[in-house]
Every structure is written in structure tokens, then in C-alpha cells.
Amino acid sequence: MDKLDEETVTTLKVANIGEDLLHSLSRDDIKDLFPGPANFLRRRAFWLVVNDEEKVETTAEILQPSPPRDSDRSNEEPNTSGIGSCHG
């Protein structure tokens, strides 16, 4: 619980929720503990801390365009051996 803010930790203690139960909390449980739009960022931060083993992309990461695939190959030498060629 070191990564959680003081208010979140206090709320969890009042609800008798220890570290052993954190991974079992559903999104609905988290909404019940931290209700309302004012706690949206707190719920999100809590979810990211508890599920830190998963890589959760942010909206900015999802919307960011990927680099063109051809740019990755621009530094490679062309294949002149004929192996793997599509020309039969």
C-alpha cells in the first residue's frame, strides 16, 4: 500500500481491507469505496497500483500513431540472395 495516497489507505483501513484482499476487489467494489466523479482519478490510480503486473495503456498511448513499418526496414540491407523472395 506504499504507492497509494493517504486518503485511499485510510478508506481501505476503515473498510477493513488489507493488502491480501486488494487483488480480489472488482471495479464495482472500488466504485463503492470511492464513489462519484471526484474520485475518478483515485479509482484509476488504485486500479493501476493493484494491477501493476499488467501494462495498462493510457488513452494518450492508445491514440498515438505507430511509426510506419517501412521506417524500421530502411536501415536493413536488401535481401539479394533470393531466399524468402516472393518471385517464384
Average pLDDT, the chain: 78
Which residues make Cβ contacts (< 8 Å) with residue 18, sequence separation at least 6? Answer: 12
Q: What is the pLDDT of residue 46?
A: 92
Residue 42 or residue 76, greater confidence: 42
Residues 6 or more apart from 35 whose CB is under 8 A from it?
none
Give dist(CA 37, CA 4) in Å, integer.
Answer: 19
pLDDT digits (tens, 9 = 90+) for 10-33: 999 999 999 999 999 999 999 999
pLDDT at 1: 74
Q: Is the pLDDT of residue 62 over 60?
A: no
Task: Decide: pTM greater than 0.75.
Answer: no
Sign of the C-alpha dihedral computed for residues 62, 63, 64 and 65 taken in this order: positive
